[in-house]
Structure 1
Amino acid sequence: MSDDKKYITAEELKKHDKPDDLWISIQGKCYNVTDWVKEHPGGDIPIRSLAGQEATDAFIAFHPGSAWKYLDKFFTGYHLKDYEVTDVSKDYRKLCSEFSKAGMFDKKGHGVIYSFCFVALLMSLSFCGVLLSKNFLVHMVSAALLGLAWMQISYLGHDSGHYMIMTNRGFNKLAQILTGNCLTGISIAWWKWTHNAHHVACNSLDHDPDLQHLPVFAVSTKFFKSLRSSFYGRELTFDSLAKFFVSYQHFTYYPIMCVARVNLFVQTFLLLFSTRKVPDRALNILGILVFWTWFPLLISTLPNWTERFLFVLLSFCVTSLQHIQFTLNHFAADVYVGQPEGNDWFEKQTSGTIDIACSSWMDWFYGGLQFQLEHHLFPRLPRCHLRKVSPIVQDLCKKHKLPYRSLSFYEANVWTLRTLKTAAIQARGLLWEAVNTHG
């Protein structure tokens, strides 16, 4: 019996990688998502990053089984002639299927309720400390409690962005706006925009926004060639200012982390008031206005400007622990330049992530994200399951001779500082060369 299917090769599929001609392949079937990319709930960046490629593993990672039924209307009629599934992908897909059949993607436990209660307690104590006491020490403890609350709120926002933590999509969106915009001042729209791109292009120097921190940080000397960011659509210029900052980045790393939250506020405003299409822009702006109403009012009740400054600074310094954690997960991992490839999904996640080893009683502090590889492989998996699946992921990495790096918090800091110092020393050489050449 003859095969009436129409076929194209992987090389021919690659030609369909333009904004006005965008195809992807899922399980060997080619789909034209040129128009859909503008409506994609996860944003356009993830799809554009995998344009013209086989993207089954990425699709499985981010979408529930119910999403498959929407693919048919985009089917081009073409199948991928040289479609093959690697042994690693077979094992990965099998794991996803097993987790799904076991209901693990839907069973979230009671962690969300506990987290909301904990956040409410922390914020209540912080507010009471500011409003009901005139003691300086109590005010500083209140600042620390607020910073700790922001950390826990961020984990809830992160979880709600990856999967529904509430009973339906409407309540889940409300939770996103509340935890992101209203309580932290950081837009959930900005987070989705950058975070989804990070997951798809994990540790690609020119595609992953979470590694693009010039002029203050450069985790690789490849930044010295002024790479072009496909995410921001601009040149990441390694100019004299960047050379200077990067030359001392292993010294400035912790101080900058203490005020890194300011950058998140700036990025939020830049996105919400840009010409770029932003989902739920009005709702996001309204949420930001809520934050910039209650937070300044709280600060204004403190007795003098010295205490106000110290309160803000201390609360930001506490949240720096979270910023440090996120950089530890990736700064010292393997990096590459170029578009992510859909046919090595598992391999790219293992090479670009580092876990932080800790006791189970500390899981609340890290929000489950100390299991960074597990989260990257199964982003829809509720955090309560990440520790359970860790041994399975380790075995799979061992089977396929792939790295599984789990370091203590101290060791991860050492690795990160070493990475920053290595780049700094080379940047310093370029700096002195420039000074001697140009005076």
Structure 2
Amino acid sequence: MGISNNSGAGRDQILSAEHIKDLIANGQSIVIVDHQVLRLDAWLPYHPGGYKPIEHFIGKDATDEFRVMHSAETRQLLHRYRIGRIEGRWENLVPPIQASAGGSMNEHAAPLEGPARLSPGRNSPEELAFLNAQTKEEISLTLDRYPSLDVPTQATIIERYRQLYAQIQAEGLYECRYTAYLWEFARCGLLFAMALWFLRIEWYCPSAVFLGWFWSQMVFAAHDAAHMAITHDFFIDNLIGMIIAAPIGGLSLGWWKRTHNVHHLVTNSPEHDPDNQHLPFLAVNHRFLGSLFSSYHERLMPYTAFAQRLVPYQAYLYYPILMLGRFNLYLQSWLFLAYGQGPRKGLAWWHRYFEILGNLVFWAWFGYGIVYRSLPTAGTRILYVLLSHAVTMPLHVQFTLSHFAMSTVDLGPAESFPQRMLRTTMDVDCPEWLDWIHGGLQFQAIHHLFPRVPRHNLRRVQKLVMAFCREVGIPYALYGFVGGNRKVVGSLAEVGRQAAILAECKRVVAGRIGKHTH
């Protein structure tokens, strides 16, 4: 499970805030959980979810995030890394990984947006002024709509959220209904059987459609397993998820967990959330028009000339781009496995090799067995691949729907975990009989608050969360599927309009420079 980095003698000593700041300034990975001061440097190479999630909580109280993301068995291991304790309330710092994007360790409640987060070398003063004005307007609208960031208000939200967590546990909503998964896998088996049957009678288009639907439905169970929401056992759930992802789907669960864990902790942050970083094809926020630095990819995300041509029309390109989304998942999965970006130590050391083998199995049965051996012509093969992948588009819509139109501002480390999740995530309203189509992803706000609650219990949890939101005054975003799509497309259109304004600004500046040179 990792290497213990402390003797027992000093684990109960009270550490001052100044001492903890000095440790962080010296490069140590210090996180606060349940008043325990944890030094996690020795755990970073072993963490199954990668080191990035931990880096986003250096200098912060991660009690709520740690509790909802980890099993009771994992939480019991914290004493191995404890170097002391704190007294009273901890005032969060800006983690170094976030401070390098424009904040500082002395900032506590102030929003972190501003010129430092853009790239002055790539933008003219006029462009920076336009983008910063958009950011200030977004911050102002957000602060007006959501509860105050003052200590008493956020402390009340945290206390009520923890009571809600205890209530969900007491009602047994963390317990999985395995019979629901029997029906899930039976339905998926039927879809796959239909794909093979149509393939046998040479109805290739229906076969491709059923195969794509099969993949989409299986992803829901893989998502649950990756969050350990089925058995709550690390080995079993990861094995279930990897079998679905690799030999059945041709993807890497490890890659998905590496990005998705960060997404769950810094949701909708343009600088930090990899699920929001889709340049040059999509810019989900105006700040992408200013060439941001991605802390996840550790590189600049330039607003290139190619992006400048696409983004103004992204509202029209949104659905066609998502029809090709599965090809990007293949690419990202193989890059992750080829470069060994997952954990190489600890419980997950063998996952990479299992997934490489699983992906070879996938391409053996799908690439060779179906596409090459079972289809008669090159044109039929291309059509089959494109159609089977295109029909997974609603799944990609479902993934993006809950975040693309929601708030993207960073309100600083004073904002509580539940408020941040509800501010950056929307739910999709649908009748219960349609739940199987959405696969639980329609409860994204609920899922972000309680990611390890089994999918089939989320509808009950939704009622509890709605009561919680009314009590603490946090708006709960709930849209119908059509209404949610309209909101997302409208948001993309607005950023596209801002991109067009920025392009005009560039032309004006270029014209001025041209006049001066002549």
State TM-score, norm by structure 1. 0.92
Q: Deviations over 1:329-369 (max 9, x none)?
A: 1000000248x748510011000101111000111111111
Shift of 1:201: 0.8
Q: Are 1:133 and 2:201 matched, yes or no?
A: yes
Q: Deviations over 1:122-149 (max 9, x none)?
A: 111101211x212xxx321111111111
Q: Distance in 1 between matches of 2:220 and 2:439?
A: 6
Q: Are 1:45 and 2:40 matched, yes or no?
A: no
1:13–1:412 Cα change, 3 Å: farther
Q: Which residue of 1 aligns with 2:435?
A: 363
1:150–1:16 Cα change, 3 Å: farther
Q: Which residue of 2 aligns with 1:294?
A: 365
Q: Distance in 2 between matches of 1:29 and 1:167?
A: 25
Q: Distance in 1 between matches of 2:420 and 2:26?
A: 25
* 8 Å CA contact 1:185, 1:265 repeated in 2: yes
Q: Which residue of 1 aligns with 2:122?
A: none
Within the candidate set 75, 85, 90, 2:159 is matched to 90
Q: Which residue of 2 aligns with 1:322?
A: 395
Q: Are 1:285 and 2:356 matched, yes or no?
A: yes
* 8 Å CA contact 2:255, 2:342 repeated in 1: no
Q: Distance in 2 between matches of 1:55 and 1:167?
A: 21
Shift of 1:19: 9.4
Q: Distance in 2 between matches of 1:159 and 1:316?
A: 22
1:15–1:183 Cα change, 3 Å: farther
1:243–1:102 Cα change, 3 Å: same
Q: Which residue of 1 aligns with 2:381?
A: 308
SS class of match (1:292)? helix
Shift of 1:245: 1.4
Q: Are 1:334 and 2:407 matched, yes or no?
A: yes
Q: Deviations over 1:295-315 (max 9, x none)?
A: 112012112222222221221
1:33–1:288 Cα change, 3 Å: same
* 8 Å CA contact 2:271, 2:293 repeated in 1: yes
Q: Distance in 2 between matches of 1:150 and 1:342?
A: 41
1:145–1:309 Cα change, 3 Å: same
Q: Are 1:238 and 2:306 matched, yes or no?
A: no
Amino acid at match of 1:33: L
* 8 Å CA contact 2:279, 2:301 repeated in 1: yes
Amino acid at match of 1:116: F
Query: CA RMSD for the aligned pairs?
Result: 2.1
* 8 Å CA contact 1:332, 1:416 repeated in 2: yes
Shift of 1:166: 4.8
Shift of 1:256: 0.4
Q: How many corresponding residue pairs?
A: 430
Q: Which residue of 2 aligns with 1:61?
A: 68
Q: Are 1:389 and 2:458 matched, yes or no?
A: no
Q: Which residue of 1 aligns with 2:488?
A: 416
Matches within 5 A, 1:177-196: 177-196=242-261
Shift of 1:261: 0.8
1:424–1:133 Cα change, 3 Å: same
Amino acid at match of 1:42: G
Q: Deviations over 1:154-208 (max 9, x none)?
A: 1111011011535854443331221001111110111110111100111111111
Shift of 1:64: 2.6
Amino acid at match of 1:148: W
Q: Distance in 2 between matches of 1:15 and 1:227?
A: 29
Q: Which residue of 2 aligns with 1:151?
A: 216
Q: Are 1:7 and 2:15 matched, yes or no?
A: yes
1:116–1:60 Cα change, 3 Å: same
* 8 Å CA contact 1:19, 1:34 repeated in 2: no
Q: Deviations over 1:193-225 (max 9, x none)?
A: 011110011111111110000111111111122
Q: Are 1:197 and 2:286 matched, yes or no?
A: no
Q: Which residue of 2 aligns with 1:267?
A: 332
Moved segments of 4+, more than 4 Å: 14-20, 166-169
Shift of 1:434: 3.6
Q: Which residue of 1 aligns with 2:225?
A: 160
Q: Are 1:99 and 2:168 matched, yes or no?
A: yes
Q: Distance in 2 between matches of 1:12 and 1:316?
A: 54
* 8 Å CA contact 1:18, 1:51 repeated in 2: no
Q: Deviations over 1:100-127 (max 9, x none)?
A: 2333212334222211121111111101
Q: Are 1:30 and 2:37 matched, yes or no?
A: yes
1:16–1:405 Cα change, 3 Å: farther
Q: Unpaired runs of 5+ in structure 2? A: 1-11, 91-150
Matches within 5 A, 1:221-232: 221-232=286-297
Q: Distance in 2 between matches of 1:425 and 1:12?
A: 49
1:17–1:156 Cα change, 3 Å: farther
Q: Distance in 2 between matches of 1:72 and 1:178?
A: 33
* 8 Å CA contact 1:57, 1:343 repeated in 2: no
* 8 Å CA contact 1:105, 1:380 repeated in 2: yes
Q: Are 1:247 and 2:315 matched, yes or no?
A: no
Q: Deviations over 1:260-287 (max 9, x none)?
A: 1111111111111115344421111111
Q: Distance in 1 between matches of 2:399 and 2:37?
A: 35
State TM-score, norm by structure 2. 0.79
Q: Unpaired runs of 5+ in structure 1? A: none
Percent identity over paired residues: 33
* 8 Å CA contact 1:240, 1:431 repeated in 2: no
Amino acid at match of 1:220: N
* 8 Å CA contact 2:192, 2:214 repeated in 1: yes
